[in-house]
Amino acid sequence: MAVATEGAYYTGRYRNALAELGIPEEEIARRLEDVWEALFEGDEDTRIYYPVGDDLGYMLDTGNLDVRSEGMSYGMMMAVQYGRKDVFDRLWNWTHTYMYMTEGLHAGYFAWSCNPDGSRRSNGPAPDGEEYFAMALFFASHRWGDGPAPFDYGKQARDLLRTCLHRGEDGEGYPMWNPQNKLIKFIPDCEYSDPSYHLPHFYELFALWAYPEDRDFWKEAAEASRSYLQIACHPETGLAPEYAHYDGTPNNDKGYGHFFSDSYRVAANIGLDGAWFGADERLVGIVNRIQAFFADKSPEDYRRYRIDGEPFEEKSLHPVGLLAANAMASLAAAGPHAEDAVRLFWRTPVRTGVRRYYDNCLYLFALLALSGRYRIWK
């Protein structure tokens, strides 16, 4: 499986890694339709999207029975990629109605967790939601055009990114990125990071579409994140901790210094960065090592691991999400396990049952990316 040296942003061509394995296009298209239907319109053992009334809808974290900014922003990205403006607008309307904070320490951000009735479980934000909201809103603006607030997507995205960088300059609140090292924080009022939050391929586009005074920051942030991933991922296994200090060392103060659920997204993010902006050799090495580490492991036996590869007894909560992320990494990988990772993904159905939400979000993103449908809308 070849690695793209130039990304789709420059060439306009998106790799279809599934077709490269000989899977017929009609089967790929059918899988895309079936997965959307299962997650957005399916039965109660499969769906994760729920419409509300005439103009609202939410994505449910089925394991925790809450609505998260992560899931809402993921759902918006899925909807814009599928061309489903109706679903996108329902999700964004719910988000803006219930999650957007207009006062207090985190004014301008979105509450990371709400109940399905819209009442808040937390008044704190999670930066992975904000960066996905901004990217999905830019894509919506470019694909469908802007409407009246809050459906003036482009302005909403630019305003949100301005808040992410400049919140706290007036003495209240905190920015979501450290202004000195340009690294995204785990939460605004801390000084450490989460490697899976690093999306340099998003920042490259923010550098084009954010307010002009912020564009240099985003360009620098893209390079800072690529460099950070190199030091946060283990040099032999490629595994990243869930939380890490700015020097890349695991932050295990709260038990999150190991390879577990959040960490899975690192491989997927590197894959999409490679697909959109071309392979970065530093990151190619990371995903090659991750795929090699999992090559002899069965999904039924995936576990929590120290980043050096030592396993814990605890099994993975989201094995389907892990194998999906590792397959998505094949868009940037150059090792001998890339094709097998994609084949394993194609043989695996979406997850059903209580823990399905996170697994199937990663699954749908992998399906979009590997089929060449996870696109930059300019």
State residue 5's pLDDT score.
63
| Tokens read off for 279 | 């392979």
pLDDT of 302-359, one tens digit each? 999 999 999 999 999 999 999 999 999 999 999 999 999 999 999 999 999 999 999 9
In a domain, 299, yes or no: yes
State residue 2's pLDDT score.
53
In a domain, 5, yes or no: yes
pLDDT of 38-88, one tens digit each? 999 999 999 999 999 999 999 999 999 999 999 999 999 999 999 999 999
Rounded CA-CA distance 63/195 in Å is 23
* Domain span at 252: 1-47+233-378
Closest alpha carbon to 77 in 123, 19, 25, 143: 143
In a domain, 81, yes or no: no
Q: Which of 66, 130, 194, 262 is catalytic?
A: 262
In a domain, 31, yes or no: yes
CATH code of the domain containing 43: 1.50.10.10
Mark whether 340 is an active-site residue. no
Q: Which of 61, 66, 70, 130 is catalytic?
A: 70
- Residue 225 DSSP code: H
Mark whether 262 is an active-site residue. yes
In a domain, 306, yes or no: yes
DSSP H helices in the chain: 8-11, 17-20, 25-41, 69-82, 85-94, 127-144, 153-166, 200-209, 215-232, 265-277, 281-294, 319-328, 338-347, 356-370
Q: Specify the pTM.
A: 0.97
Closest alpha carbon to 258 in 301, 194, 188: 194
In a domain, 21, yes or no: yes
In a domain, 367, yes or no: yes
Give every residue of the chain whose pLDDT is below 50, as ranges: none
Q: What angle do CA 178, 180, 186 make, to 5 degrees?
A: 20
Count up the domains in the chain and report the number.
1
In a domain, 175, yes or no: no
| Tokens read off for 133 | 């909201």
State residue 6's pLDDT score.
85
